[in-house]
Amino acid sequence: MSIFKAYDIRGLVPEQLDESLALNIGRAFGVFLKKGPIAVGHDMRDTSPGLTKALITGIQETGLGVVKVGLCSTPMLNFSVARLGFAGGIMVTASHNPGGYNGFKLCREQGIPISGDTGILDLESWVQREALSFRATEPIGSVSEVDIRETYSAFLRTQVKPGPRTLKIAVDGGNGMIGYHEYGFLQSVYPETTGLYLEPDGSFPNHEANPLIESNLDDLRKFVLTEKADIGVAFDGDGDRVVFLDEKGRTVMADLALALLASRYLQDHPGSPILYDLRSSRVVPEEIEANGGKPVISRVGHAFIKKTLREVDGILGGELSGHFYFKDFYFLDSGILGALKIIELLSNSDKSLSELTRSLDRYPRTGEINFKVGDADAVLKTIEGSLEDQGKTSHLDGFSFESPNYWFNVRKSNTEPLVRLNLQALNPEVLRERLDWIESLIGGVRSDH
């Protein structure tokens, strides 16, 4: 399977990705972008410095200048591109993948992401066809360095307005990049912040840095209860996603957190568009409309959310995967900014997080269920063709159906032979009945149970 994926370049090191390939990816990126300077940052993985060095050399050989941001989170790299006006950027990271992986997240000016549709496949084609015949330009591009931390912290401080309530905050850094700088900023704003696994360590000695897997939250869950914290906050490996636990140690789904933020943002920005991905609970558009905003549905994936958020001039956006997007952050996503905004909301309330979210968690759901299939397109067609109920249909991303009593989305994975189902209903009985129905349809056409 190719390491050139829908949203980034990612693979095992050195089996799929090594320094010679990183060199050619750097060359391809310079040829593709045609202008500089290009910012380059990296995470804490053992293989990141070597891949970064090779990548920078490749960019230089196309005659473009490079600005080394150094060790940083993905939001910090994207911020540096947008704030300092660089022509593009590359973050060397494999995000939440295990330590044996590494890769590259790519953006152009203003931190606008480069995806499979907007350049990654072109880079793959160039590497395959032209890398061997490449000749370095003369002179090669220059290299300089920038320390973005002070500028980044100054910006974050403009976004924070803590309320009068003193909070105890528990953080799980997952041994990822959040512990390098952003955790310290959070602690400077909320002194009663304590944490687990804050030392950046690319071997991830405690658990995988993926907070979407419930078992990875177990240690934070215990920590919240032991410390009697008001909120638990878990980040992924490169710091662009965040997941919350309430004071009882229960996971707060990201779409419910978005609904909370929407109500707050619309107080200051009445009538503004707010984006949500199509897997989200019906609660999200209901809350946006109830607070006078304009709900805008989007395909799954950060490239689509960022593009649409810019197009509609939205104030806020979110995905079920824990990405939160902000107009004030150059229409980009940031795990720490998402955390700061939820914590700020809590600090201005006399209610607990569980009380704030109780009324929002009003529709039972399955969560995202993955099914291994032989022919994903056939599965989608079978489900669509078997519908007897009346309702709204959409092909924005896979197939979506909405009726008064239940609604679902089923879509293909971008990287695996899977279909992903998200189903929600008015009550548990309808949820169970509709899930059984969809599972029976998938079972009739899939090749591997």
Q: Is the distance from CB of 195 to CB of 217 less than 8 angstroms?
A: no
Q: Where are the alpha helices (DSSP H) in 173-227?
A: 182-189, 218-227
Please enumerate in sequence order all residues whose Cβ is within 8 A of that of 149, keeping only pairs 6 or more positions apart, or say none: 76, 181
Is residue 393 helix, strand or coil?
Answer: strand
DSSP E strand boundaries for 33-162: 38-42, 66-71, 88-92, 101-108, 143-145
Kindly give the interhelix angle for 182-189 and 149-158, rounded to the nearest 10 degrees.
40
How far is it, in rounded angstroms, from Cα 279 to Cα 260? 17
Closest CA to 272 of 291, 254, 258, 253: 291
* H helix and E strand count, the chain: 14, 21
How far is Cα 264 from Cα 180, in angstroms, rounded to an integer?
A: 29
Structure tokens, 279: 């897997």
In the chain, the N- to C-terminal Cα span, in Å, equals: 22
CA–CA gap between residue 72 and residue 238 (Å, rounded): 8
Q: Catalytic one among 48, 73, 80, 95?
A: 95
Residue in 443, 442, 449, 448 with CA at minimum distance from that of residue 383: 442
- Calpha distance 115→120 (Å, rounded): 6
Look up residue 258 and give its two tokens: 């978005």
Q: Is 95 a catalytic residue?
A: yes
What is the distance between the alpha carbons of residues 229 and 244, in angstroms, rounded to a whole number?
A: 12
Question: Cα 309 from chain centroid?
Answer: 15
Active site residues: 95
